[in-house]
Amino acid sequence: MKKKMIIGAVFSLLFLLFLGISLVFMGSNTEINRRVLFFYNDVNGQIVGNAIGITGRASKEQNIEALTDFLLTLPLNSAELRPILGAGGEVFLVSLVDSSCFIDIRLNNLAELAKQGINFRQDFELIEKTILFNFPALSNVNITINGAVPYQLSFTSD
């Protein structure tokens, strides 16, 4: 009887050890993708790229969403580099159709950004450049803000 209890305890410990090792290997299977983010340098007017590592996701849409969210929310520590859309945007939707990418960005402070003089066209170009550079199979990026096509809505209306 005591022998059976010892054998049962050993098998239980081996099972827990196997389970723990499996979880460690499954958790360490996350891939870090090297990506380049583009920003405008306000001092010299040049576009500059910064290489970063972003954890890979399950689908291309999720990878594009993670990259765009990172680009939109990145607080810059440089006085020369300007945040994209005032670092206030959030990706609402990413959809891929053939070689086209469609992104809808939510901006809650749209009127405030317009009053601050944010150059929306430049920021959209940076988002497009970042995505097309990192996902070369794509041929174009279509961006909407709060569900509307840029420049077909009034950025100053609430």
**123 close to 85: Cβ distance less than 8 angstroms:** yes
- pLDDT by residue for the chain (158 residues), tens only, comes to 666 667 665 555 555 555 555 555 554 446 787 888 888 877 787 888 888 888 887 888 988 988 888 888 776 655 556 667 766 678 899 999 999 999 998 887 776 766 777 777 888 888 899 999 999 999 999 988 888 776 654 444 44
The pLDDT, as a whole number, for residue 10 is 59
**39 close to 84: Cβ distance less than 8 angstroms:** yes
The pLDDT, as a whole number, for residue 15 is 55
The pLDDT, as a whole number, for residue 100 is 93
**Count of helices and strands (H, E) across the chain:** 4, 5
Question: Is the CATH number of domain 32-145 3.30.300.130?
Answer: yes
**93 close to 102: Cβ distance less than 8 angstroms:** yes
Segments making up each domain of the chain, as ranges: 32-145
- Cα(117)–Cα(111) distance, rounded to whole angstroms? 10
Q: What does residue 150 show for φ and ψ, rounded to 5 degrees?
A: -55, 145
The pLDDT, as a whole number, for residue 130 is 92
Task: Work out the angle at residue 138's Cα, subtended by the Cα atoms of residues 118 and 47, and round it to the nearest 5 degrees.
Answer: 35
- Cα(64)–Cα(102) distance, rounded to whole angstroms? 10
